[in-house]
Amino acid sequence: MRQVASLFAFLVAAVSANQRPNLIFILADDYGFHDIGYHDSEIDTPNLDRLASEGVKLENYYVQPICTPTRSQLLSGRYQIHTGLQCGIIKPAQPNGIPLDDVLLPEKLKEAGYSTHAIGKWHVGFYKPEYLPTRRGFDSYYGYLTGSEDYITHLRGPGEYGHWKATGNWTGVDFHRNEEVTRNESGYYSTHLFTKEVVSIIQSHDAAKGPFFVYLPYQAVHAPLEVPESYVVPYMHIQDKKRRMYAGMVSAMDEGVGNITKALTSKGFSNNTLIVFSTDNGGQVYEGGNNWPLRGWKGSLWEGGMKGIGFVHGSIIKKTKRISQELIHVTDWFPTLVHLAGGNVSGLTLDGYNQWDTISNGAPSPRTEILHEIRPVYNNTYESFSYRAGIRIGDWKLIVGDPGNSSWVPPPGMSCPAGESCMGNVTTGTWLFNVTDDPEERKDLKGAFPEKVKELLDRIEYYNRTAVPPRYPDPDPMACPQLHGGAWVPWQKE
């Protein structure tokens, strides 16, 4: 009897294990809303377009305005007011990271029997070894730990230290395989390196050992603008040099995604792999990116800062070839992917929702609101921040404080349409929009709907009461790469 029961349990486990998909999460960096083919872009993205049109395009999808906040929320499933990372990005020499008591997505997937791999940009802390990807749920890691660097030399310069009394040589190599610095990648473009790594993980994966999770935060298409010349050739008609380079970088990334899908097909994995594609924030208009027709850009609480490109592809999706207008936020991937992996999130305090029924079946989103941000006034000797907050409830969005980067920026080569204003210079204030009716945030309704303003402000106050104190430590001179053999590595002991 017992034998029958355990045989039965074995069969059940084997069947459900087979149905659990491989997961590939591709996160593009600073990829603008206007810059994907299916958003009427002048940039060609045939591979991304094909995957998106075969799957579900997420057109009411939100990320955070900048890198670390989006990455920390994706990996922890929690708003940054709940992790202490509400002040901004983690600078290379700051002893900071997602708190170690936050369980990360790869840990849950590993627990569920996935093999887990991170390839690309980390940027959620590395000052002690226990913050490294390989200590936080990833079986393997290949990439760089800081927020940006040279695509080819893989050197991270001292750029951001001009205003800080740093001495020594702050240029160091930032490229790692697992926990070791690797120096032989110099001369190879990161989009090629990261794609090749993912292809080789797919090729060598043994399906009998369970599914895999690949987290691929590409360096593309963040500054610096660097790309092998061949990718720029199709764009010689683009006059603006930065836009031209950026378009080439997007094309290289698109080709990389194409290579990954080919590897899936040749390995027979294409019918049991789910691909999620997302940007981390709006495009940086000073570095070739564009978010037209949305207002604002990277760093701002306007839609151009955080209404993101996103889509999902995979044969486990029930209703494919769709556009979803359901409200989805980057924190939702954590419970959604853990659900698909057959795991559970019991015992965790998450801000995300399981969106699988929404994505797969077109069910209404369980999410009715998004806390976009609450950034407290924060002063120290290193940097100061002003207060700002943003919230979305249903169709309504409220911004208070300094939203940042407020203009509508047409793509290079296009001028502001006649009769429209493209300048949106503001400093601080309060704005209320119905973003469903007015996604371009042109008509401030705070005067017409004072009770709505009050309702959303109250909700911000509610969230603010749940906030933990921000962590934004001064940079640590001990991080200097010169002290560590010319490399960016954890500089504090466990």
Ligand X SMILES: *[C@@H]1O[C@H](CO)[C@@H](O)[C@H](O)[C@H]1NC(C)=O
Secondary-structure breakdown of the chain: helix, strand, coil percentages, each rounded to the nearest 5? 30, 20, 50
Total binding residues toward ligand X, as defined by CB under 6 A: 26
Q: How far is CA 259 from the centre of its chain?
A: 21
H-only helix segments in 86-131:
105-111
Residue 245 CB, shortest distance to ligand X, in Å, is 16
Q: Which of 184, 239, 381, 425 binds ligand X (CB under 6 A)?
A: 184
Within positions 124 to 153, which residues make up the interface with ligand X, using CB under 6 A? none
Within positions 52 to 91, which residues make up the interface with ligand X, using CB under 6 A? none
**What HEC string does 400-458 produce?**
EECCCCCCECCCCCCCCCCCCCCCCCCCCEEEEEECCCCCCCCCCCCCCCHHHHHHHHH
Query: Which among 123, 154, 176, 313 is annotated as catalytic?
Result: 123
**CA gap 393, 455 in Å, rounded:** 9
Residue 315 CB, shortest distance to ligand X, in Å, is 7
Task: Give whichever of 259 and 320 is closer to ligand X, judged by the CB atom.
Answer: 259
Task: Give whichever of 315 and 434 is closer to ligand X, judged by the CB atom.
Answer: 315
What tokens does 42 get?
């002048």
Query: Which among 39, 67, 313, 480 is annotated as catalytic?
Result: 67
Residue 158 CB, shortest distance to ligand X, in Å, is 9
Query: Is 188 one of the binding residues for ligand X (CB under 6 A)?
Result: yes
422 is known as an active-site residue: no
176 is known as an active-site residue: no
CA distances from 318 to 42, 55, 264, 292 (A): 32, 10, 20, 32
Q: Which of 230, 265, 349, 384 binds ligand X (CB under 6 A)?
A: 384
Closest Cα to residue 26, out of 357, 309, 338, 370?
Answer: 309
The stretch near ligand X (CB under 6 A) out of 78-86, 182-190, 208-216, 388-396 is 182-190
Residue 254 CB, shortest distance to ligand X, in Å, is 8
Task: Give whichever of 268 and 447 is closer to ligand X, judged by the CB atom.
Answer: 268
Q: Which of 102, 185, 287, 332 binds ligand X (CB under 6 A)?
A: 185
Residue 111 CB, shortest distance to ligand X, in Å, is 5
CA distances from 141 to 167, 181, 305 (A): 31, 11, 29
Query: Is 107 one of the binding residues for ligand X (CB under 6 A)?
Result: no
Long-range pairs for 453-459 at CB < 8 Å and ≥24 separation? Answer: 453/398, 455/393, 456/391, 456/393, 456/396, 456/397, 456/398, 456/432, 457/398, 457/400, 459/369, 459/391, 459/393
Task: Give whichever of 327 and 338 is closer to ligand X, judged by the CB atom.
Answer: 338
Task: Give whichever of 256 and 403 is closer to ligand X, judged by the CB atom.
Answer: 256
What tokens does 461 get?
């106050």
Residue 170 CB, shortest distance to ligand X, in Å, is 8
Pairing of strands 212-217, 22-28: parallel
Q: Which of 344, 361, 380, 428 binds ligand X (CB under 6 A)?
A: 344
8 A C-beta contact, residue 334 and residue 74: yes
Sequence-distant (6+) residues with CB within 8 A of 401 are 375, 386, 387, 388, 389, 428
Per-residue x/- track, 249-278, ligand X (CB under 6 A): ---x--xx--x--------x--xx------
Q: Which of 86, 116, 146, 191 binds ligand X (CB under 6 A)?
A: 191
The stretch near ligand X (CB under 6 A) out of 83-91, 165-173, 405-413, 470-478 is 165-173
Q: Which of 128, 192, 242, 446 binds ligand X (CB under 6 A)?
A: 192
Query: Is 171 one of the binding residues for ligand X (CB under 6 A)?
Result: yes
What tokens does 258 get?
């194409």
Closest Cα to residue 403, out of 295, 271, 490, 256?
Answer: 295
Binding site for ligand X (CB under 6 A): 111, 155, 169, 171-172, 182, 184-185, 188, 191-192, 195-196, 252, 255-256, 259, 268, 271-272, 344, 346, 377, 379, 384, 486
Active-site residue numbers?
67, 123
